């Protein structure tokens, strides 16, 4: 990890991720279509740039997961952007199952050409084979569990828990190849690193929480001050200094040590967990669409 107060860079690429990346390259030839799972709150920042190189010419369906935590209007704009790039895209919520039927339909459509080629060669029709790719903690295992209807695949809140290769039969018409979550070796853009840290794609133990939350509180104050005011019973306008704002929130939430001193670390964790859990409302942090060619 590289860290500086002015230019935050977070690089987290454990050995199992490098191994998983090699495995993906080896097994992508076994599938008909690739499902790329991204976080609907950060559709661009959570898209691994290595994936396009790994899958080469395979059809790809982009699934914007955790859509319930993202702003609906922005999710729709991102879906249109992906479609303008020639990609199938759909918003889903793997926890409730919303959008999963549409996802399966688009996966089957994406694989139709490959299946037709097999039939033309005299091969008996078989189930569509799809590979799920995505960064850590974006909800791959939760999606598979939802498709299966039971908690068959091991999940955890910490990024990077899924290991190895797993073929999962969803139905007679669809088989999924699950893969571990993989980041890219070096995250060059500090703003991308910040968004990945905020949403939980990067292990909380490898970055400076104080630095991340100072930047995040600045973002929230600038774009969502009314949300903060409502949630934490604060008077507008909010303090411009992020540390002052943090202490104010900590005081309101009772994060006090002996002598009435605010426990800032506890306050940081409360705000971050409430954001991730949707208690602060719906957020889309990627708010700059790429230029259309």
Cα of 245 vs its chain's centroid, Å: 27
Average pLDDT, the chain: 85
Token pair for 22: 């090699």
Cα of first residue to Cα of last residue in the chain, in angstroms, is 35
Is 114 annotated in a binding site? The answer is no
Is 119 annotated in a binding site? The answer is no
Q: Which residues of 78-104 are buried (b: 16+ CB within 10 A; e: fewer)?
A: bbebbeeeebbbbbbbbeeeebbeebb
- State pLDDT tens for residues 47-88: 988 888 888 789 999 999 999 999 999 999 999 999 999 999
Of the CA atoms within 13 Å of residue 223, those in its CB half-sphere come to 14
Residues 68 and 118 in one domain: yes
Residues 98 and 155 in one domain: yes
Cα of 248 vs its chain's centroid, Å: 30
Residues 115 and 31 in one domain: yes
Where would I find the H helices in the chain? 15-27, 49-55, 72-84, 100-120, 140-148, 190-199, 209-223, 225-232, 242-252, 264-276
Number of structural domains in the chain: 2
pTM listed for this prediction = 0.86
Residues 224 and 265 in one domain: yes
Residues 156 and 226 in one domain: no
- 115 found inside a domain: yes
Domain hosting residue 135, numbered range: 15-178
Does residue 185 carry a pLDDT above 80?
A: no
Is 58 annotated in a binding site? The answer is no
Residues 44 and 171 in one domain: yes
Residues 101 and 213 in one domain: no
Is 145 annotated in a binding site? The answer is no
Write down which residue in 178, 197, 217 finishes a domain.
178
- State pLDDT tens for residues 110-162: 999 988 998 899 988 888 999 888 888 898 888 888 888 754 554 444 444 44
Is 140 annotated in a binding site? The answer is yes
- State pLDDT tens for residues 224-261: 999 999 999 999 999 999 999 999 999 999 999 999 99
Residues 128 and 229 in one domain: no
What are the percentages of helix, strand and coil residues in the chain, rounded to 5? Answer: 45, 15, 40
- 197 found inside a domain: no
Residues 166 and 234 in one domain: no
Does residue 182 carry a pLDDT above 70?
A: no
Residues 44 and 173 in one domain: yes
Token pair for 147: 């498709």
Could you tell me if 3 and 12 are in contact, meaning their C-beta atoms sit under 8 angstroms apart? no
Could you tell me if 79 and 126 are in contact, meaning their C-beta atoms sit under 8 angstroms apart? no
- 46 found inside a domain: yes
Residues 56 and 115 in one domain: yes
- 200 found inside a domain: no
Is 138 annotated in a binding site? The answer is yes
Q: CA angle 115-120-124, nearest 5°? A: 60
Residue 272 sits in a domain whose CATH number is 1.10.1580.10
- 68 found inside a domain: yes
- State pLDDT tens for residues 19-47: 667 777 777 888 999 999 999 999 999 99
- 188 found inside a domain: no
Could you tell me if 90 and 99 are in contact, meaning their C-beta atoms sit under 8 angstroms apart? yes
Is 189 annotated in a binding site? The answer is no
Is 137 annotated in a binding site? The answer is yes
Could you tell me if 35 and 107 are in contact, meaning their C-beta atoms sit under 8 angstroms apart? yes
Is 273 annotated in a binding site? The answer is no
Residue 132's CB: how many other CB atoms inside 10 A?
27
Residue 129 sits in a domain whose CATH number is 3.40.50.300
């Amino acid at each position: 990890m590289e860290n500086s107060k002015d230019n935050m860079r977070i690089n987290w690429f454990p050995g199992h991720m490098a191994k998983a990346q090699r495995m993906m390259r080896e097994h992508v030839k076994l599938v008909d279509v690739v499902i790329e799972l991204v976080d609907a709150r950060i559709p661009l920042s959570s898209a691994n740039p290595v994936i396009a190189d790994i899958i080469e010419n395979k059809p790809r369906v982009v699934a914007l997961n955790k859509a319930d935590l993202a702003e609906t209007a922005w999710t729709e704009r991102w879906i249109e952007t992906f479609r303008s790039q020639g990609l199938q895209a759909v918003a889903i919520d793997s926890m409730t199952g919303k959008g999963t039927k549409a996802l399966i339909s688009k996966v089957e459509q994406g694989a139709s050409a490959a299946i037709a080629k097999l039939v033309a060669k005299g091969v008996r029709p078989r189930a569509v084979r799809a590979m799920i790719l995505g960064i850590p903690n974006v909800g791959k295992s939760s999606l598979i569990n939802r498709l299966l209807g039971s908690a068959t695949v091991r999940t955890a809140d910490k990024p990077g828990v899924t290991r190895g290769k797993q073929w999962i039969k969803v139905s007679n018409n669809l088989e999924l190849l699950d893969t571990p979550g993989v980041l890219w070796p070096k995250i060059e853009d500090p703003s991308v690193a910040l968004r990945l840290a905020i949403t939980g794609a990067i292990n909380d133990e490898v970055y400076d929480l104080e630095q991340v939350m100072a930047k995040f509180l600045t973002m929230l104050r600038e774009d969502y001050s009314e949300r903060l005011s409502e949630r934490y019973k604060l008077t507008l306008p909010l303090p411009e200094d992020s540390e002052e704002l943090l202490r104010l929130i900590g005081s309101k939430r009772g994060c006090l040590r002996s002598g009435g001193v605010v426990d800032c670390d506890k306050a940081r964790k409360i705000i971050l967990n409430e954001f991730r859990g949707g208690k602060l409302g719906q957020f889309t942090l990627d708010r700059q669409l790429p230029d259309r060619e």
